[in-house]
Structure 1
C-alpha cells in the first residue's frame, strides 16, 4: 500500500518503521518539512509536507497531537483515502476524555476520506517491539467503510497483531474511553490484562 503519514513524532516513526519493513511505500509529512525528511531518512522513505503525504497515501495515518488533529485534517485535501486516527485526547490528572470522540469529530472535517479508529490503545514503544511474544496483540478497529476496515486490518496483521473489528465509527467513542480508562490504571500501577475473563466465560 501507499501510506502517507501526517506527523513526525514517536507514533509516526514507530508505526511507519514497521510498515516500511513490511514492504509498504511510505511518505512522511510534517509542518516542518526538514524534520519530516529526517524521519523519512531514518525509515528509508521520502519526507516532505503534510499535503504531500496526504496526496501520496491511499491510506493516511493521522499521527499528530490530538489538539492539532482537527486543524490538520481541515487544512488538507485527503480525497477518498482511508484515514487512520490513532489519537487520544486525554487530560491529566484523572485521565479523562478531553473532548467528544476524536474519530467522529475528525470525520466531519475529512471530506470523502473514510475514517478508521485504530492503534490508540498502545504507546509507540509497543509498536516498535511488535510482534510481541506469546499470543498476538489484539488491535481494535472501528469504522463504517468495509474496504477501509480491510486495509487497516491488513496493516494490523503486518505488525504481527490481530485485528479486532469493534463496530462502527460511532463506537470509537467507547474505544477512546477505554484508552482513558486503561491509561489511568497503568499510571496507578495496575495491569489491565487481568480485567477480562476468557471469551467462553465472559457472559
Structure 2
C-alpha cells in the first residue's frame, strides 16, 4: 500500500483520507491549524499528524487546498518535496463556475510543476470526482495526467487501493482539459442532470 501525506483539512482531504485509511494506506494529515489537523487525524482513526512546512512523511503528497493556494504551498515547501509525487486535485473555477481562472494554455497542475523542486513529479487526479460521490464508497473512475510514468503508476496504485479505477489521460498538459471537465460537470449538475449525484466514467463494449 501507499504512504501518503495530505496537505489540507477540508472535505476532500477528509474524504480521501478516510478512503485511504480504509484501503490500508499510511496516512499523514498536515494543516496550518495544528489543532484542526489533530481533530481530522483523530476522526480518520488511524492517521498521524505532520507539521506544516516541514518535509511530509508520505511518498505521495496530496494537495487538498484551494486552487489559489496550491502553487504557493508547493513553493513554500520547495526542497522538502524533493523526490515526492505531488497530487494536485484542484479545480480553478471562477465565481459563478462558468470559466477557469488559469490563463489559457496552462493549468493548476502545470503551475505547480513550475515551482516544484527537482526530482518531484506532479500528477493531476481526483478533480473530476465530486467529494460527496467519493464519500459514498462506490467504484468510480479517476482520471489522471502526468509526465512521469512511475509517478502515475504510484498514483494509480493508490487509487486502486481506494476501490477506484485510475484512467490515464496522458501528459501533464492534459490537466488543463481535466480541469475543463470539472467545469463541465458543474454545468451538468446545474442544468442537464439537475443535481450533482453523478460521476463521469468510461465504459467499453465487448
Structure 1 length-normalised TM: 0.88
What is the distance in 1 between the residues matched to 2:32 and 2:175?
A: 27
What is the distance in 2 between the residues matched to 1:176 and 1:8?
A: 21
Select the residue among 110, 118, 135 that pairs with 2:125.
118
TM-aligned CA deviation for residue 22 of structure 1: 1.2
The answer to whether the 8 Å contact 1:157/1:163 transfers is yes
The answer to whether the 8 Å contact 1:20/1:26 transfers is yes
Decide whether aligned partners of structure 1 residues 57 and 194 sit closer, same or farther in structure 2, where only a CA change above 3 A counts: closer
- Alignment length, in residue pairs? 196
Matches within 5 A, 1:31-70: 31-44=32-45, 45-52=47-54, 54-70=55-71
Unaligned runs of 5+ in 2: none
Residue 29 of structure 2: aligned partner: 28
What is the distance in 1 between the residues matched to 2:30 and 2:52?
A: 4
Give the RMSD, CA atoms, in angstroms.
2.3
Residue 147 of structure 1: aligned partner: 150
Matches within 5 A, 1:1-203: 1-44=2-45, 45-52=47-54, 54-76=55-77, 77-100=80-103, 101-112=107-118, 113-130=120-137, 132=138, 136-190=139-193, 199=204
What is the distance in 2 between the residues matched to 1:198 and 1:70?
A: 34
What is the distance in 1 between the residues matched to 2:128 and 2:179?
A: 8
Decide whether aligned partners of structure 1 residues 99 and 85 sit closer, same or farther in structure 2, where only a CA change above 3 A counts: same
Ranges of 4+ aligned residues in structure 1 off by more than 4 Å: 191-201
TM-aligned CA deviation for residue 92 of structure 1: 2.9
